[in-house]
Amino acid sequence: MKFLHTMIRVGDLERSVDFYTRLLGMKETRRRDVPEGKYTLVFVGYGDEASDCMIELTYNYGIEKYEMGSAFGHLAIGTDDIYGVCDRLAAEGVKIPRPPGPLKHGTTVIAFIEDPDGYKIELIERK
């Protein structure tokens, strides 16, 4: 078995695609519009769908906002320059509720950012 993707619902598809591709450096690997079902799917990620896990952005026509609920935690992304990434994202207006710094009682450096729909993304420095 293999982990293929995680699906999140988004309120503005192009805004979310821009966030994940332009700001986080992912690539759009495929898009499928289903007018009869009133939804569009866009897959984004850092590699190829055949070998890497993706994020499936699901836009349901006419729905601009979703309730986050209390069960979802976060997505996690590794980076080799967490401070530089956070500086660049802050300049773009990205919310950073937990600025980069070491974990309490640890040495791993993390930060938390939010995507345009409020999903939390943990950045983990991996040198």
Q: pLDDT tens digits, residue range 1-17?
A: 999 999 999 999 999 99
- Measured distance CA(49)–CA(68) in Å, rounded: 27
pTM for the predicted model, two decimal places? 0.94
Query: Catalytic annotation on 49?
Result: no
Alpha carbon of residue 7 to chain centroid: 10
- Helix (H) or strand (E) holding 86, with range, is helix 82-91
Residue with tokens 């690539």, as numbered in its chain: 27
Length of the chain as a residue count? 127
Q: Any residues with CB less than 8 A from the CB of 84 and at least 6 apart, and which?
A: none
Q: pLDDT tens digits, residue range 31-81?
A: 999 999 999 999 999 999 999 999 999 999 999 999 988 899 999 999 999
Share of the chain above pLDDT 90, in %: 94
pLDDT above 90: residue 106: no
What's the DSSP call for residue 64? -
Q: Which of 28, 56, 114, 122 is catalytic?
A: 122
Order of strands, sheet of 39-45, starting from the edge strand that comes earlier in the sequence: 5-9, 54-60, 39-45, 27-34
Cβ atoms of residues 68 and 118 within 8 Å: yes
Sorted by where each starts, the structural domains of the chain and their CATH numbers stand as 5-60 (3.10.180.10), 75-125 (3.10.180.10)
Share of the chain above pLDDT 70, in %: 100
pLDDT above 90: residue 92: yes
